[in-house]
């Protein structure tokens, strides 16, 4: 609980319409896009860096945990206040502060919606490359926290490849800046360290990002298969031939039927899987790559390769891909999205393993993922009203991630560790490496107030958050 005196001070900072603390309002902030829940004691909405500093200092004075939150679209529990306390919602810090096309840079507040930045510059034939499937809703601040990816990361990389500088607030209220518009400044790469730190080290209040020129030509292809294994073989063969599309997405038969019924994007209902492939660049190079991929796909068992003829056809295919999660919601009351990574040559084997897990658990698991970089997104359908179903879904997800680790992969490619995967960190890293990560966390946040209970293992018994003894003592569940 938050002391009455602390509440009064926080209200004074953000004003009468800048906070929520009624139980019915707090219900909206006890979850994100994952399956876990924990309710905050208060939500505040700063409008400036100065407001954030004041909030942080008050919560520091009263030893109150704080969690930063964008749009709440995260999929690993990153914005869930596991220890209660105060959520700092950045939805009102949503201004594009500067667009500098001459230097291909923009400066934004953390609450700017991802797609809005591209919309602001596309008239000048520029765009912001990171494109999570939730880009119409997710914020750039949240993308920085989770180091979000998206379908086009195969060519363009993830968020950290496009963040040039940050303004951040430490848990004692100190403000400092890292990086800037220049390509590479001297000293330690604090921008890279803080991008993807999941709000456990600092709160980001301003972001300098890279903008990119729109390509001369874009071609979108749909390869159709009667075997999911053939999809995996095609991805490996594309890589072996040194062809680098900007995106290679796979939908299995279960998923594409759900998507097609919801969006009517033109996916074949009888296929075992499809690859959605996008090429960008100079006209001549793109046209040559289309024919190379046609050759590869047919050699690997594709029954058909379609090329979108118009921008409308291309947009419709991508609409199907980016609205896939909504399509699942028409079929299942609940679903659990996972985020493992495997080497590309292990995609076919991983799909078979996912099928085995589905059969063993008695749950339907569909697949839609970034096949080009081996970032798997099995979607586990379950009934949240059925006793034991959520636990079965979580166990199935853990089995899949453990398999990813066993074949040389990782437990996350873009969703973050959060509170969903932190107990698996000990399977991925040695105790020495985990200690080093913990040391960085303690350096920035010695009292463990920033997003406690995330990223690092907490111990499954009582979920004690194992960091500084003073902070840990009050965070036992």
pLDDT tens, 250-279?
Answer: 999 999 999 999 999 999 999 999 999 999
Residue the block writes with tokens 């993922």: 369
Once rounded to an integer, what is the mean pLDDT over residues 388-409?
97
Quick: pLDDT tens for 113-143: 999 999 999 999 999 999 999 999 999 999 9
Q: What tens digit of pLDDT does each residue of 176-189 get? A: 999 999 988 889 99
**Sequence-distant contacts of 116-121: CB under 8 A, at least 24 apart:** 117/209, 120/96, 121/211
Confidence band, pLDDT 50/70/90 cuts, at residue 460: low
* Percentage above 70 pLDDT, the chain: 96
Comparing C-alpha atoms, which of 89, 118, 103 is closest to residue 19? Answer: 89
pLDDT computed for residue 181 by the predictor: 93
Position 471 confidence tier, pLDDT thresholds 50, 70, 90: very low
pLDDT at residue 360 above 70?
yes
- Given this model, what pLDDT does residue 291 score? 97
How high does pLDDT run on average in the chain? 94
**What are the backbone dihedrals phi and psi of residue 82, each rounded to the nearest 5 degrees, phi first?**
-60, -30
Confidence label for 463 from pLDDT (cuts 50, 70 and 90): very low
pLDDT at 67 over 80: yes
Average pLDDT estimate for 419-438: 96
Q: How confident is the model at residue 472 (pLDDT cuts 50, 70, 90)?
A: very low
| pLDDT single digits (tens) 105-115 | 999 999 999 99
Is residue 473 predicted with pLDDT exceeding 50? no
Strands (E), 9-122: 19-20, 42-44, 66-69, 86-89, 96-100, 105-108
Give the CA dihedral 172, 420, 431, 168, nearest 10 degrees. -20
Measured from the Cβ of residue 299, the count of other Cβ atoms closer than 10 Å reads 12
Structural domains in the chain, CATH included, are: 4-89 (3.30.43.10), 96-213 (3.30.465.10), 217-325 (3.30.70.2190), 332-406 (3.30.1370.10), 429-472 (no CATH)
Give pLDDT, residue 93. Answer: 98
pLDDT at residue 40, rounded to an integer:
98
297-343, pLDDT tens digit by residue? 999 999 999 999 999 999 999 999 988 888 998 899 899 999 999 99
User: Coil, helix or strand for 200?
Assistant: coil
The helix (H) or strand (E) run that includes residue 261 is helix 253-263
Question: Please, are residues 64 and 43 in contact by the beta-carbon 8 Å criterion?
Answer: no
Q: What is the pLDDT of residue 445?
A: 98
Question: What pLDDT is attached to residue 476?
Answer: 32
- Mean pLDDT, rounded, for 189-206: 98
Q: What is the reported pLDDT for 459? A: 74
Mean pLDDT within 13-18: 97
Segment 170-181 shows an average pLDDT of 97
Q: Is 104 exposed, middle or buried (0-12, 13-18, 19+ CB in 10 A)?
A: middle
What's the CA gap between 163 and 94, in Å, rounded? 17
Query: Which pTM value belongs to this model?
Result: 0.93
Residue 44: pLDDT above 80?
Answer: yes
């Amino acid at each position: 609980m938050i002391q009455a005196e602390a509440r009064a001070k926080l209200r004074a900072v953000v004003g009468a319409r800048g906070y929520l603390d009624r139980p019915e309002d707090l219900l909206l902030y006890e979850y994100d896009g994952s399956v876990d829940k924990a309710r905050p004691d208060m939500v505040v909405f700063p409008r400036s860096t100065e407001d954030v500093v004041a909030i942080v200092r008050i919560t520091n004075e009263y030893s109150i945990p704080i969690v930063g939150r964008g749009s709440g679209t995260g999929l690993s529990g990153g914005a869930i206040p596991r220890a209660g306390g105060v959520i700092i919602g950045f939805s009102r810090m949503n201004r594009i502060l500067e667009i500098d096309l001459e230097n291909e840079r923009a400066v934004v507040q953390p609450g700017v919606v991802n797609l809005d930045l591209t919309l602001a510059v596309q008239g000048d034939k520029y765009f912001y490359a990171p494109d999570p499937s939730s880009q119409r809703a997710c914020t750039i601040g949240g993308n920085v926290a989770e180091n979000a990816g998206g379908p086009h990361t195969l060519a363009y990389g993830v968020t950290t490849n496009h963040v040039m500088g940050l303004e951040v607030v430490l848990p004692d209220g100190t403000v400092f800046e890292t990086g800037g518009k220049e390509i590479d400044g001297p000293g330690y790469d604090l921008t890279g360290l803080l991008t993807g730190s999941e709000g456990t080290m600092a709160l980001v209040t301003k972001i300098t990002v890279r903008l990119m020129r729109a390509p001369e030509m874009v071609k979108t292809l749909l390869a159709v298969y009667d075997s999911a294994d053939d999809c995996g073989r095609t991805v490996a063969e594309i890589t072996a031939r040194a062809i680098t599309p900007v995106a290679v997405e796979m939908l299995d038969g279960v998923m594409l039927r759900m998507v097609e019924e919801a969006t009517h994007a033109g996916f074949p209902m009888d296929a075992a899987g499809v690859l959605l492939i996008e090429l960008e660049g100079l006209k001549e190079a793109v046209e040559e790559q289309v024919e190379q991929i046609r050759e590869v796909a047919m050699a690997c068992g594709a029954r058909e390769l379609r090329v979108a003829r118009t921008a409308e056809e291309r947009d419709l295919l991508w609409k199907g891909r980016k609205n896939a999660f909504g399509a699942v919601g028409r079929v299942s009351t609940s679903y659990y999205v996972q985020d493992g990574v495997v080497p590309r040559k292990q995609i076919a084997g991983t799909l078979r393993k996912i099928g085995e897990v589905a059969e063993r658990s008695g749950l339907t698991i569909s697949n839609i993922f970034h096949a080009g970089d081996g970032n798997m997104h099995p979607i586990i359908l379950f009934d949240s009203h059925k006793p034991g179903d959520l636990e079965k879904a979580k166990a199935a997800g853990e089995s899949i991630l453990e398999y990813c680790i066993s074949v040389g992969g990782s437990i996350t490619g873009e969703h973050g560790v959060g509170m969903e995967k932190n107990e698996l960190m000990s399977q991925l890293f040695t105790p020495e490496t985990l200690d080093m990560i913990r040391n960085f966390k303690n350096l920035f946040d010695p009292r463990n107030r920033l997003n406690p209970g995330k990223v690092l293992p907490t111990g499954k018994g009582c979920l004690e958050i194992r960091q500084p003894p003073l902070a840990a003592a009050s965070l036992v569940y």
